[in-house]
A and B are shown apart, each in its own frame.
Chain A
Amino acid sequence: MAVQVTQAGADTKTGVSGWSLSIAPRRGALSVVEVIVLAACIAAALTMTNRHGVDIMIRTFLWAGLALAWNIAGGYVGLISFGHAAFFGIGAYTSTILLLSYGISPGIGLFGGALLAAAAGALLTVVCARLRGPFFILSTLAAGEVTRIAALNWRSLTGGAEGLEIPAISSATDMVFATQWPYVGLVLSYMLLVFALSVWIERSRYGYYLFATRDNEDGASAIGINPGVMRVSAMALSAALTAIGGTLFVQYFLYLDPTHIISPDISFEFALICAIGGLGTASGPVFGALIIVPASELLRGWLSQSASGLYLVLYGLVVILVILYFPSGISGAIARGWAALTKKKTS
């Protein structure tokens, strides 16, 4: 039999025995570290005044929510997708087209986008039902690109390469605001909502069925789980939540075009944030976004005069180091660090 590589991410303590507050992150339970980090996010949202700083904060919270959404498919059920930008784009375009052509508030339009993205996600998973590992990943990448090219060419609907613009006229019903604060509230609520949903999934029967499907499909099937249903539903949920993030994004930037919105770079970013923060945990994507988004924004700003493009090199370096030394991400590293610390104390 093959040698079994011990998974660093297989932290064994779980919340099976009911609600309890632990210090370090663990699956299915809210930890002290997570509560502190989330409280710090809210505190930052309330106190930050620097316009550029708030801008980075909005992007960070939004990307944390989007990475959490990606994690439902990529982390929980193991469907690694490099095509989530398509769902992001579907959300952004649907609400924007509904607003511009029919005057429907994005507050309602975002549900339309979510439904459409869920259907697209389900369809993609059904079509690729037999594909696993890299073959599935490549199919999602292709699906994303097909969506982008379709959006570029369907000019009557999407405005093609010129894109669509939402008039910058402050109106609460149109979800357009003159100041940044309402946006901070929106993206922070979005992040907290997807986080709460993720924690709920980890504690629920549904979540365990997703883990089982991810870890061993035949094993899952043998105990009565229909793996196909798990895969399709998780992808649909992930796509719907990603679409809502897309609507929020376009409401803040007030402009969208296929090249920037449905770009593989965006898909990679979701995956990367999860890989660095910790795949398959609710805290991972939040930690990942809190580090990656500000770091890339600041590095890009600082290095733009002296060595533009260098930030990409540093970015790549960080990714390689994390994958080499922290395979279970920041979240796993904190959990293991804490375990080592408490072990020393007691012995």
Chain B
Amino acid sequence: MGGADKKEDQLMLWVEGVSRQFNALWAVRDVSFSIEAGEIVGIIGPNGAGKSTLFNLIAAAIRPTSGDIRFLDHTITRAKPYQVSRLGLARTFQIPKPFRQLSVRENVMLSALRRHRTPHRANRLAGETMEFVGIDHLADTSVASLTVGLLKKLEVARALATEPSLLLLDEVMAGLTPPEVREMMAAIAALPSRGVTVLWVEHVMMAIMNVAQRLLVLHRGQLITQGKPAEVSKDPAVIAAYLGEKYAARS
């Protein structure tokens, strides 16, 4: 890994020619992109475009058929989820995966334990993180009683409490009420100022168009375009991918 020049040092994530095959289907095919520190990058695309597969490849939940993924100075292509988490790459789950027999506070505190060692000390960061996400008033309730929206917030709090440098968000807006969506948008927009770079898969266009600085568009497993949200939304290839060729021609 020698010879890393200055430009490479600023790279947070580096995805090079990554493909993943499920039997005969190429869910993700030859995707390359990189993310710099401090960015908020969105991944969009129609259903079945391979967003979730790409997400899980970066989170090390599944391994690529070919290609390489680097995070900061580490090659994480063949790493395990708990290893990438320790390196500072946190993720949320599309379907929340809380620790059901524990309280909200304990769920968040658990993430902070690796760095802060004792529950007592980890608790301080947990409190601050719950406040940031807006679930501090629920600290002592059981997660079994939370609504979907609150569980999504808990997912974000839990990921943030690991103090990551890169946060992967998987459809955090799905199931949220409009006020909750606005709160979550504000929270995500504030992340870079806290030293957290964001890579975000989302279906709620209003949210991602307004918050993301750059969008990657996936279609049939391939990266068809990338750029600023305003540019991407006018791109004929993107309109064709979402609405079909007819609409692309008309606009």
Whether, in the assembled complex, B144 has its beta carbon less than 8 Å from a beta carbon of chain A, the answer is yes
Whether, in the assembled complex, B63 has its beta carbon less than 8 Å from a beta carbon of chain A, the answer is no
Minimum CB distance partner of A18 in chain B: B120
Taking a contact as CB atoms under 8 Å apart, the answer to whether A215 and B100 are in contact is: yes
Give the residues in chain B near A220, CB-CB below 8 Å.
82, 99
Taking a contact as CB atoms under 8 Å apart, the answer to whether B93 and A223 are in contact is: no
Query: Complex Cα distance A203/B113, Å?
Result: 12
Give the residues in chain B near A5, CB-CB below 8 Å.
144
Taking a contact as CB atoms under 8 Å apart, the answer to whether B93 and A7 are in contact is: no
Minimum CB distance partner of A217 in chain B: B97
Q: A6-B142, A10-B144, A203-B119 are in contact. Are A211 and B101 (CB under 8 A)?
A: yes
Taking a contact as CB atoms under 8 Å apart, the answer to whether B162 and A224 are in contact is: yes
Taking a contact as CB atoms under 8 Å apart, the answer to whether A211 and B82 are in contact is: no
Whether, in the assembled complex, A208 has its beta carbon less than 8 Å from a beta carbon of chain B, the answer is yes
Taking a contact as CB atoms under 8 Å apart, the answer to whether B120 and A17 are in contact is: yes
Give the residues in chain A near B82, CB-CB below 8 Å.
220-227
Residues facing B in A214-269 (CB within 8 A) are: 214-216, 218-227
Minimum CB distance partner of B92 in chain A: A222
Taking a contact as CB atoms under 8 Å apart, the answer to whether A208 and B106 are in contact is: yes
| Interface residue from B81, B106, B113, B145 paired with A14 (Cβ < 8 Å) | B106
Chain B's nearest CB lies how many Å from the CB of A232?
14
Give the residues in chain A near B122, CB-CB below 8 Å.
205
Count of A-B contacts judged by CB separation below 8 Å: 120
| Interface residue from B90, B109, B140 paired with A222 (Cβ < 8 Å) | B90
Minimum CB distance partner of B114 in chain A: A224
* Chain B interface residue count, Cβ-Cβ cutoff 8 angstroms: 42
Taking a contact as CB atoms under 8 Å apart, the answer to whether A10 and B90 are in contact is: no
Whether, in the assembled complex, B59 has its beta carbon less than 8 Å from a beta carbon of chain A, the answer is yes
Give the residues in chain A near B142, CB-CB below 8 Å.
6-7, 10-12
Give the residues in chain A near B114, CB-CB below 8 Å.
223-224
Taking a contact as CB atoms under 8 Å apart, the answer to whether B97 and A216 are in contact is: yes
Give the residues in chain B near A218, CB-CB below 8 Å.
61, 81, 93, 97
Whether, in the assembled complex, B141 has its beta carbon less than 8 Å from a beta carbon of chain A, the answer is yes
| Interface residue from B61, B98, B119, B140 paired with A12 (Cβ < 8 Å) | B140
Taking a contact as CB atoms under 8 Å apart, the answer to whether B100 and A222 are in contact is: no
| Interface residue from B100, B109, B117, B119 paired with A7 (Cβ < 8 Å) | B100
Q: A5-B144, A12-B141, A215-B102 are in contact. Are A222 and B159 (CB under 8 A)?
A: yes
Minimum CB distance partner of B59 in chain A: A222
Residues facing B in A196-221 (CB within 8 A) are: 203-205, 208-209, 211-212, 214-216, 218-221
Give the residues in chain B near A25, CB-CB below 8 Å.
none
* Contact digits for B207-246, partner A, Cβ 8 Å, 1 yes 0 no: 0000000000000000000000000000000000000000
Residues facing A in B102-118 (CB within 8 A) are: 102-103, 105-106, 109-111, 113-114, 117-118
Whether, in the assembled complex, A13 has its beta carbon less than 8 Å from a beta carbon of chain B, the answer is yes
Q: A interface vs B, CB < 8 Å?
A: 1, 4-7, 9-18, 28, 203-205, 208-209, 211-212, 214-216, 218-227, 280
Q: B interface vs A, CB < 8 Å?
A: 59, 61, 80-82, 85-86, 90-91, 93, 95, 97-103, 105-106, 109-111, 113-114, 117-120, 122-123, 140-145, 148, 158-159, 161-162
Known: A18-B120, A221-B85. 14 other contacts (CB 8 A): A7-B100, A13-B140, A205-B117, A211-B106, A214-B101, A216-B97, A216-B98, A218-B93, A219-B99, A222-B93, A223-B110, A223-B111, A223-B161, A280-B101
